[in-house]
Structure 1
Amino acid sequence: MSSNQKLGLQTNVGVGADALAARFALIREAEDLGYTSLWIAEVSGPDAFVSLAALALNTRKAELATGVIPIQIRTPGAMAMGFLTINELSGGRAIAGLGVSSPVIVERWHGASYRKPVTAMRECVTIMRQLFTEGRSKFQGEVYKSDFKLSMRITAPHPPKIYLAGLNAPMLRLAGEVADGVLMNYSPPDAIAPMVQHIHEGAKAAGRDPSAVDVGIYIRMCITEDEDKAVDSFRRELASYAFVDSYNKMFARYGFGAEFEEVRRLWKQGKRDEAPRAITEASCRKIAVFGKAAAGRDFVARFRAAGVTHPVVFPIGPSATAARDYPNTMSALAGA
Structure 2
Amino acid sequence: MASNQKLGLQTSIDAGAFADRLALIREAEDLGYTSLWIAEVSGPDAFVSLAALAANTRKAELATGVVPIQIRTPGAMAMGFLTINELSGGRVIAGLGVSSPVIVERWHGASYRKPVTAMRECVSIMRQLFTEGRSKFQGEVYKSDFRLSMRITAPHPPKIYLAALNAPMLRLAGEVADGVLMNYSPPEAIAPMVNHIHEGARAAGREPSAVDVGIYVRMCITEEEDRAVDSFRRELAGYAFVDSYNKMFARYGLAAQFDEVRRLWREGKREEAPRAITEESCRKIAVFGNAEAGRDFVARFRAAGVTHPVVFPIGPAATASRDYPNTMRALAGA
Compute the TM-score of the two structures, normalised by the length of structure 1: 0.99
1:150 deviates by 0.1
The amino acid that maps onto 1:264 is R
Q: Separation in 1 of the partners of 2:254 and 2:67?
A: 26
Q: Separation in 2 of the partners of 1:189 and 1:12?
A: 25
Matches within 5 A, 1:118-197: 118-197=116-195
Q: Separation in 2 of the partners of 1:82 and 1:240?
A: 30
1:56 deviates by 0.3
Q: Separation in 2 of the partners of 1:15 and 1:6?
A: 28
The amino acid that maps onto 1:167 is L
Q: Separation in 2 of the partners of 1:297 and 1:247?
A: 26
List runs of 5+ in structure 2 lacking aligned partners.
none
Q: Separation in 2 of the partners of 1:94 and 1:237?
A: 28
- Aligned partner of 2:5 in structure 1 is 5
The amino acid that maps onto 1:166 is A
Q: Separation in 1 of the partners of 2:15 and 2:80?
A: 19
The amino acid that maps onto 1:118 is V
Matches within 5 A, 1:237-316: 237-316=235-314
The amino acid that maps onto 2:3 is S
Q: Separation in 2 of the partners of 1:322 and 1:74?
A: 31
Q: Separation in 2 of the partners of 1:119 and 1:190?
A: 29
CA-based RMSD of the aligned residues comes to 0.3
Deviations 1:14-40 (A, max 9, x none): 023xx1100000000000100000000
Compute the TM-score of the two structures, normalised by the length of structure 2: 1.00
1:89 deviates by 0.4
Alignment of 1:90 with 2:88, yes or no, is yes
The amino acid that maps onto 1:13 is I
The amino acid that maps onto 1:94 is V
1:13 deviates by 1.1
Alignment of 1:234 with 2:228, yes or no, is no
- Aligned partner of 2:15 in structure 1 is 15
The amino acid that maps onto 1:170 is P
Q: Separation in 2 of the partners of 1:15 and 1:212?
A: 37
Q: Separation in 2 of the partners of 1:20 and 1:176?
A: 36
- Aligned partner of 1:81 in structure 2 is 79
Q: Separation in 1 of the partners of 2:21 and 2:308?
A: 23
- Aligned partner of 1:325 in structure 2 is 323
- Aligned partner of 1:199 in structure 2 is 197
Q: Separation in 2 of the partners of 1:260 and 1:12?
A: 28
The amino acid that maps onto 1:151 is S
Alignment of 1:210 with 2:199, yes or no, is no
Q: Which of 52, 58, 61 is equivalent to 1:60?
A: 58
Q: Separation in 2 of the partners of 1:12 and 1:281?
A: 27
- Aligned partner of 1:116 in structure 2 is 114
- For residue 228 of structure 2, give the secondary structure of its aligned residue in structure 1: helix
- For residue 253 of structure 2, give the secondary structure of its aligned residue in structure 1: coil
1:176 deviates by 0.1
The amino acid that maps onto 1:242 is A
1:265 deviates by 0.2
1:58 deviates by 0.3
Deviations 1:94-148 (A, max 9, x none): 0000000000000000000000000000000000000000000000000000000
1:12 deviates by 1.2
Q: Separation in 1 of the partners of 2:300 and 2:230?
A: 24
- For residue 94 of structure 2, give the secondary structure of its aligned residue in structure 1: strand
Q: Separation in 2 of the partners of 1:236 and 1:334?
A: 27
Q: Separation in 2 of the partners of 1:304 and 1:182?
A: 14
- For residue 258 of structure 1, give the secondary structure of its aligned residue in structure 2: helix
Q: Separation in 1 of the partners of 2:52 and 2:255?
A: 40
Equivalenced residues, count: 334
The amino acid that maps onto 1:109 is W
Runs of 4 or more, structure 1, over 6 Å off, are none
- For residue 240 of structure 1, give the secondary structure of its aligned residue in structure 2: helix
- Aligned partner of 1:27 in structure 2 is 25
The amino acid that maps onto 2:299 is A
